Amino acid sequence: MRDIAIHVENLGKRYCIGERRETYGTLRDTLMQAMQTALRALRGRGSHHGKAEIWALRDLSFELKRGEVLGIIGRNGAGKSTLLKILSRVTRPTVGRAWIHGRVGSLLEVGTGFHPELTGRENIYLNGAVLGMKKTEIRQKFDEIVEFAEIEQFLDTPVKRYSSGMYMRLAFSIAAHLEPEILIVDEVLAVGDAAFRKKCLGKMQDISSREGRTILFVSHDTDAIQRLCWRCILLEHGHALADGDPASVVARYLSVHSFKGCPNAWIDLSHTARMGTGEARFVALQFSSQCAETAFQPYSKGPLEFSLAVESDAARSVGSVAVSLRDLSGLRLVNADTVLIDRAIPLRKGCNLIRLRIDSLYLNPGVYRLGLWLADPITVYAANTPYDYIESAFEIEVIKVESDGNGLGPNSVVTCDFDVVDVS
Amino acid sequence: MSQQAANLVEPINPVESVANQTQAILIEPPRRWEALELREFWRYRELLYFLTWRDVKVRYKQTAIGAAWAILQPFLTMVVFSVIFGSLIQVPSDGVPYPIFSYAALLPWTFFAGALTRSGNSLVYDANLVSKVYFPRMILPFAAVLSLLVDFAIAFIVLLGMMLFYGIVPGIAVLTLPLFLLLAFMTALACGLWLSAVNVKYRDVAYVIPFLTQFWLFMTPVAYSSSIIPEAWRPLYGLNPMAGVIEGFRWALLSTGQIPSGPIFVSAAVVIALLIGGLFYFQRMESQFADIV
- Residues of A in Cβ contact (< 8 Å) with B53: 126
Q: d(Cα A176, Cα A124) in Å, to the nearest integer?
A: 12
Question: Scanning every residue of chain A, which has its alpha carbon at the shortest distance from the alpha carbon of B1?
Answer: A230
At B229-256, the pLDDT tens digits run 787 777 777 789 998 899 889 989 988 7
For residue A57, the cross-strand partners are A13
Cβ-nearest to A125 among B50, B132, B201: B50
pLDDT band at B75 (very low <50, low <70, confident <90, very high): very high
Nearest to B155 by CA among B121, B197, B112, B192: B112
| Predicted complex ipTM | 0.81
Whether A98 sits inside 8 A of B62 (CB atoms) is no
pLDDT of residue B147: 94
Q: d(Cα A107, Cα A90) in Å, to the nearest integer?
A: 11
- Residue A207 region, left (φ>0) first, then alpha (ψ -120 to 50), else beta? alpha
Residues 8-47 of chain B whose Cβ lies under 8 A from any Cβ of chain A: 8, 10, 12, 16-17, 20-21, 23-30, 46-47
Burial class (CB within 10 angstroms; exposed 0-12, middle 13-18, buried 19+) of B65: exposed
Cβ-nearest to B132 among A109, A115, A135: A109
- Residues of A in Cβ contact (< 8 Å) with B27: 86-87, 89, 92-93, 97-100
Q: How far apart are the first and last CA of chain B?
A: 43
A179 touches chain B (CB under 8 A): no
> Of the segments A100-109, A184-193, B42-51, which one has the largest average pLDDT value?
B42-51
- Residues of B in Cβ contact (< 8 Å) with A134: 46
| Nearest-neighbour CA in chain A from B86: distance (Å) | 38
Cβ-nearest to B3 among A68, A100, A209: A209
For residues B126 and A130, the answer to whether their CB atoms sit within 8 Å is no
| Nearest-neighbour CA in chain A from B207: distance (Å) | 8
Mean pLDDT lowest among A39-48, A151-160, A175-184, A338-347: A39-48
pLDDT of residue A49: 45
- The secondary structure of residue A119, as a DSSP letter, is B
Residues 207-246 of chain B whose Cβ lies under 8 A from any Cβ of chain A: 207
pLDDT band at B260 (very low <50, low <70, confident <90, very high): low
pLDDT of residue B17: 39
A101 touches chain B (CB under 8 A): yes
Cα torsion A152, A156, A162, A168: sign:
positive
Q: All domains of chain A, ordered by start, with CATH?
A: 55-255 (3.40.50.300), 267-398 (2.70.50.60)
| Nearest-neighbour CA in chain A from B241: distance (Å) | 31
Whether A24 sits inside 8 A of B204 (CB atoms) is yes
